[in-house]
């Protein structure tokens, strides 16, 4: 294979990895998705406002530009919108491009995808499932790098003793608790604030 052919092969590979994105409204606020020819690359949960959500999505998905979504992404958007109303949705068939993650992070994300709607597991459970018992902290770090929350349901992964644990999305543990509440899972004594993720006080803070 000559140099020109090598260049063409790399150009085609880069084109397949090129990401596009779009924003859409849900019952929990404006969300976003990014995708490439290889699959879904990112799900962006609501930030403080729509502009902030778009900025975060563009920052995390380099080289992206806004574009009308293809049919399979439109279907995913509709499913996320249904999920945000508390409807049971199975995202296990969604193709996700996790090529930017390390092999162990991909394995941990795959384990997280096996946690069904309305169920939870602990960081320790996932550590044992992925052959790294005792590395619950490593699992937590992998979950913080999850590019597609909800589709890869890192909100269903709890700390030891059923405590919420951390959550890297805007709103932190509050967002995690509200996503669990959409699935009928209660952690703690606070009443879920539905359908939005945040109370008026928190939105205006």
Cα–Cα–Cα angle for 27, 150, 124, rounded to 5 degrees: 140
**Active-site option among 22, 31, 109, 154:** 154
Phi, psi values for residue 36, rounded to 5°: -135, -175
Element (H, E) at 164: none
Distance CA 129, CA 123 (A): 10
Element (H, E) at 66: strand 65-66
User: Is 109 part of the annotated catalytic residue set?
Assistant: no
CB 197 within 8 A of CB 29: yes
The per-residue b/e assignment along 28-51, b for 16 or more CB within 10 angstroms, e otherwise, is bbbbbbbbbebebbbbbbbbbeee
Residues tagged active-site: 154
């Amino acid at each position: 294979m000559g140099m020109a052919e090598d260049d063409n092969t790399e150009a085609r590979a880069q084109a397949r990895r090129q990401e596009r994105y779009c924003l859409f409204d849900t019952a929990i606020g404006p969300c976003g998705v990014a995708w490439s020819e290889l699959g879904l690359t990112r799900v962006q949960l609501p930030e403080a406002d729509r502009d902030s959500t778009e900025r975060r999505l563009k920052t995390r998905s380099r080289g992206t530009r806004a574009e009308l979504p293809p049919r399979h992404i439109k279907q995913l958007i509709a499913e996320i919108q249904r999920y945000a109303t508390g409807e049971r949705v199975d995202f296990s068939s969604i193709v996700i491009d996790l090529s930017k993650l390390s092999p162990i992070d991909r394995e941990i994300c795959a384990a997280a995808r096996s946690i069904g709607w309305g169920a939870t597991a602990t960081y320790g459970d996932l550590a044992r499932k992925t052959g790294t018992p005792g590395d619950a902290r490593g699992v937590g770090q992998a979950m913080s790098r999850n590019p597609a929350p909800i589709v890869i349901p890192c909100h269903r992964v709890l700390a030891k003793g059923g405590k919420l644990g951390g959550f890297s999305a805007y709103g932190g543990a509050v967002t995690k608790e509200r996503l669990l509440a959409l699935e009928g899972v209660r952690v703690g004594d606070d009443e879920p604030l539905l359908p939005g993720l945040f109370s008026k006080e928190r939105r205006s803070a």
